[in-house]
């Protein structure tokens, strides 16, 4: 194969997902769940606090260009420490499930990951995501066993395309960037971020990819969303 290391984005690349955190029913159910734990707020208050805390935490970070906020930390602040670690994880997963409208692997994902690993390649996940959401989803979709390394932005307080997130991944895996390719569905987050380290890029366009992407060049562009075509460029 042309590369030794294959860095994948997750949502919109391996997983087809649709979520809606603005639906009223989500916040109504969240308020009921929290009330049972002694956290008493109206649904709209929880929603407002959620967005305010995220914005405040992001604005307070000056050490990175693209900061990431831990949603679990946001929930902990809303609950003023009334939930223990186990309960926070349970609520985060409940919140995620209630806000998710669709969650499934794209056709051909497992075959692609198996192909890479059978050929001796290393598979790495580099995702802008929340570990309290993403780890249960990786387990639910039985995807973890096909990944050699997993890096989720909420664990590090920084997200793609920030060079610091890439540096963390490279230092912790010891990979050679020049023997590496990034595969993702977002030019700005995935392809442009990889270039700063000399990492090649394969772009795959999906329905949830950003619209009106700028003109750009990379190793390959798959515009019909067919994951199976990625193997042709490896």
Taking only the tens place, the pLDDT of each residue in 90-133 is 999 999 999 999 999 999 999 999 999 999 999 999 999 999 99
State residue 215's pLDDT score: 86
Contact 188, 150 (CB under 8 A): no
How many angstroms separate the CA atoms of 139 and 132, rounded? 12
* Alpha-carbon distances, residue 80 vs 28, 47, 222 (angstroms): 19, 15, 46
Look at the domain 5-16+104-233 and name its fold.
Answer: Rossmann fold (3.40.50)
Give the residue ranges of the chain where pLDDT is below 50. Answer: none
Contacts of 45 (CB under 8 A, 6+ apart): none
How many angstroms separate the CA atoms of 130 and 71, rounded? 7
Structure tokens at 45: 């208050």
- Among residues 96, 152, 100, 102, the alpha carbon closest in space to that of 124 is found at 152
State residue 203's pLDDT score: 97
Contact 6, 176 (CB under 8 A): no
How many angstroms separate the CA atoms of 47 and 21, rounded? 9
């Amino acid at each position: 194969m042309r590369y030794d290391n294959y860095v994948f984005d997750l949502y919109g690349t391996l997983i087809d997902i649709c979520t809606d955190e603005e639906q009223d029913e989500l916040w109504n159910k969240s308020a009921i769940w929290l009330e049972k734990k002694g956290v008493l707020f109206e649904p709209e208050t929880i929603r407002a606090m959620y967005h305010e805390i995220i914005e405040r935490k992001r604005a307070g970070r000056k050490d990175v260009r693209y900061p990431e906020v831990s949603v679990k930390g946001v929930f902990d602040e809303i609950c003023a420490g009334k939930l223990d670690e186990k309960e926070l994880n349970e609520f985060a997963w409940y919140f995620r499930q209630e806000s998710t409208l669709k969650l499934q692997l794209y056709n051909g994902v497992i075959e692609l990951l198996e192909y890479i690993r059978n050929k001796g390649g290393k598979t790495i996940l580099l995702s802008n995501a929340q570990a309290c959401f993403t780890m249960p989803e990786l387990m639910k979709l039985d995807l973890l066993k096909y990944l050699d390394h997993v890096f989720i932005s909420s664990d590090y307080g920084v997200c793609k395309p920030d060079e610091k997130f890439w540096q963390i991944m490279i230092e912790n895996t010891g990979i050679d960037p020049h023997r590496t390719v990034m595969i993702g569905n977002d030019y700005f987050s995935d392809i442009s971020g990889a270039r700063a380290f000399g990492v090649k890029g394969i772009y795959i366009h999906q329905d949830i990819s950003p619209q009106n992407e700028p003109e750009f060049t990379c190793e390959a562009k798959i515009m019909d969303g067919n994951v199976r075509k990625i193997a042709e460029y490896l």
